[in-house]
Amino acid sequence: MLLAFADERALALKLAAELRCELAMVVEHRFPDGEIKLTLPPSLPGHVLLLRGLQQPNERLVQLLLTAKTARRLGAKRLTLASPYLAYMRQDIEFNPGEAISQRIVAGFLGELFERVVTIDPHLHRIASLDEVMPGSRGIALAAAPLLGEWIASQWPAGKGPLLVGPDEEAEQWVRAAGEATGLAGVVCRKTRHGDREVDVELPPIDLMGREVVLIDDVASTGHTLVQAAQALRARGVAAIDAAVVHALFDAPAVERLHAAGIRRIWSTDAVPHASNVVTVAPLLARAIADCD
């Protein structure tokens, strides 16, 4: 049985169809003081799959705690979490003394609640695999960047694809994966972050005059990383800029900000529900979940 929440129903329906399994919804009631009450189907099979992405993570981590503990009480012996977006992965070291290393704490918490956690392109920068923070092969990291790459390539005539540009060094892995799937060439920029909304992006020293480019990244949130990259690209005389991200975490003004910076089209996967979704991750998730059965 697949359990899901109402705001992820679209992906849940696709996933249940791929897995040919029953879909049931977790019903949420919010009390006036902000507490939540969750209601699950009263009787559960031995293996339950829960779909819950961790955008707006603080709220959803509590939902996961309540759902997993309740599912066990109601009969689930094995719990798999499909969390297309895994939050807190960027805080992977103590940048300043005393800071929580959230990546380890959150991954450890999920590893205690679920036998398996299946996710897509988690932001693993200073660690090589999820195993380092979720031991025992509990975490499975899937790659959607090749799917995004194929979408990008399909928007141009064969052999005339754009240049892929990663806005920072960490994006090298997604540029490479999309490039390997499609043959599209790619480069990465260097980013310096000064604050939540202040970044500088430096392009590599190559001739970009008249080129069509697609910025590709795992996550966009405020959009400032893509905006700075787009501004630098325009200054180099590119002909057109589009952007593709796996996880469209965009805050409300971000899309407007991107278009104002000269980004023509914005594409994303449905790992996070957003108006820019063009690629579904349901078959990718379904294959991995079926394989670990």
Residues contributing to the site for ligand R5P (CB under 6 A):
90, 123, 167-168, 170, 199, 217-225
**CB proximity list for 187: less than 8 A, separation 6 or greater:** 163, 164, 165, 166, 175, 203, 204, 206
Q: What are the DSSP E strand ranges found in 127-230?
A: 139-142, 163-166, 186-188, 190-195, 198-202, 212-220
Report in angstroms how near the CB of residue 227 gets to ligand R5P at its nearest: 8
> Which is nearer to ligand R5P, 36 or 260 (by Cβ)?
260
Quote the least distance from Cβ 181 to ligand R5P, whole Å.
Answer: 19
CA dist., res. 182 & res. 146, Å (int): 8
Q: Which C-beta is closer to ligand R5P: that of 48 or that of 227?
A: 227
State how far the Cα of 25 lies from the Cα of 270, in Å rounded to an integer: 19
Identify which of residues 78 and 125 has a Cβ nearer to ligand R5P in the complex: 125
Element (H, E) at 78: strand 78-83
Q: Hey, is 212 helix, strand or coil? A: strand
Segment 10-18 long-range contacts (CB within 8 Å, at least 24 positions apart): 10/270, 10/273, 11/51, 11/84, 11/270, 11/273, 11/280, 11/281, 11/282, 12/51, 14/270, 14/280, 14/282, 15/51, 15/82, 15/282, 15/285, 15/286, 17/282, 18/282, 18/283, 18/285, 18/286
| Least distance to ligand R5P, CB of residue 142, Å | 17
Strand partners, 36: 30
- How near is the Cβ of 10 to ligand R5P at its closest, in Å? 23
Q: Which residues are tagged catalytic? A: 191
* Closer Cβ to ligand R5P, 217 or 242, answer by number: 217
- Minimum distance from residue 35 beta carbon to ligand R5P (Å): 30
| Size of the chain, expressed as the number of residues it contains | 293
Show Cβ contacts of residue 103 under 8 Å, excluding neighbours closer than 6 positions: 88, 89, 90, 91, 92, 127, 133
What backbone torsions phi and psi does residue 25 show, to the nearest 5 degrees? -100, 145
- Residue closer to ligand R5P by CB (options 90, 234) is 90
Minimum distance, C-beta of residue 182 to ligand R5P, in the bound complex (Å): 20
Pick the closer one to ligand R5P by CB: 218 or 242: 218
